[in-house]
Amino acid sequence: MRILILSLSRSGSTALYYQILAEMPKSTLEIFEPSIDLLKLKDLPSQCIAKVIIDSSRMESLSPLIEKFDHVIVLVRDPRDRLVSSMLFAMHGVDKEELDRRLHHLKQKSESPIETPFLDLIANIYPGWTVEKVCKQVSTDLKLVDEVLCFSKRCICIKYEMFIQNSIEDLRDQLGLNSHGQYSIPEKHAYGKRRVKSGDWKNWFLSSDVTHLKPFMQPFILNYQYEATWEHSESPCIPLKHSIDFVLNAYHKNIEMTSKGIKWQSS
């Protein structure tokens, strides 16, 4: 059985990949975010699992790639939560001076969530990422997911939110797998869990963020049946362990992996 997992980054595909892998034969070929074009592989073994991140540079090859696999899973996530997760995870890959600058802005947001709009926080942490640029990138990413799902009727669309609740029995049935209940993620792909829940965006977004992002996200939200209301929290709370501590842990993990000669890769 050949299984392909496709998703945007920060959508939980690493955990899904290793959970499915744990239920496949030990001889299964593992292909995790390959640096080569899988189309160049003439023959895939009968038992293999691959995980590929959806981005604009891969779109031309994805359609013929899908035909090489027996099952294709497209993992989607509420784009509001995904944007928060992406902002935080991208913070760590810099030197200490730049990290401290970024953490200063994050600390201000964490301590007083209602003072700084989320899109302003992004602009402060990542100079050049204006509101317009973020909205354009969001729109591009979400359209890519729609495009991938149009490639083949064989694509199975799974929500991240269902996966984290362990509500994927229908997927197991379609794949013919038996649940083992236990799986582990190798150190080089493990970055630590942040919240593992949905709706955290409500603690980060303010009214101005909703005004800017809703026109670009709402079609996707409606199409994939996410919560269509945009009511952010009136009493937002951003715990340190879900913001600053998460970034610091990722920063130190990256240093540790680099010292071991391991490229830390987890999207």
More confident site: 9 or 61: 9
More confident site: 266 or 20: 20
Using DSSP, state whether 45 is helix, strand or coil. Answer: coil
Q: What is the mean pLDDT of residues 65-93?
A: 94
Say if residue 13 is in the same domain as residue 73.
yes
Q: Which domain holds residue 105?
A: 79-137+192-259
More confident site: 38 or 127: 127
Q: What is the mean pLDDT of residues 200-208?
A: 97
Q: What is the mean pLDDT of residues 234-249?
A: 93
Q: How far apart are CA 259 and CA 267, in angstroms?
A: 20
Closest CA to 205 of 219, 188, 217, 189: 217
Say if residue 128 is in the same domain as residue 118.
yes
Say if residue 130 is in the same domain as residue 217.
yes
Say if residue 62 is in the same domain as residue 104.
no
Say if residue 233 is in the same domain as residue 116.
yes
Q: Are the beta carbons of 73 and 158 closer than 8 angstroms?
A: yes
Share of the chain above pLDDT 70, in %: 93
* Poorest-pLDDT segment among 67-71, 103-107, 199-203, 214-218: 67-71
Say if residue 199 is in the same domain as residue 233.
yes
Say if residue 121 is in the same domain as residue 181.
no
Q: Is it the case that residue 194 has pLDDT exceeding 70?
A: no
- pLDDT mean across residues, the chain: 90
- pLDDT tier, 195 (very low <50, low <70, confident <90, very high otherwise): low
pLDDT at 129: 97
266 within some domain = no
264 within some domain = no
Residue 47 carries which DSSP code? S
**Count of the separate structural domains present in the chain:** 2
142 within some domain = no
pLDDT in tens, 22-72: 989 999 999 998 876 776 776 889 999 999 999 988 888 888 889 899 999
Q: How far apart are CA 2 and CA 52, in angstroms?
A: 14
Say if residue 23 is in the same domain as residue 62.
yes
Q: How far apart are CA 264 and CA 96, in angstroms?
A: 18
pLDDT in tens, 146-178: 999 998 888 999 999 888 777 677 788 888 887
Q: Where are the beta strands (DSSP E) in 54-179?
A: 71-76, 155-159
pLDDT at 135: 98
Instruction: Calculate ∠ Cα 213-209-108, nearest 5°.
Output: 140
Say if residue 163 is in the same domain as residue 216.
no
pLDDT at 173: 82
16 within some domain = yes
Say if residue 251 is in the same domain as residue 203.
yes
Say if residue 83 is in the same domain as residue 73.
no
Say if residue 133 is in the same domain as residue 199.
yes
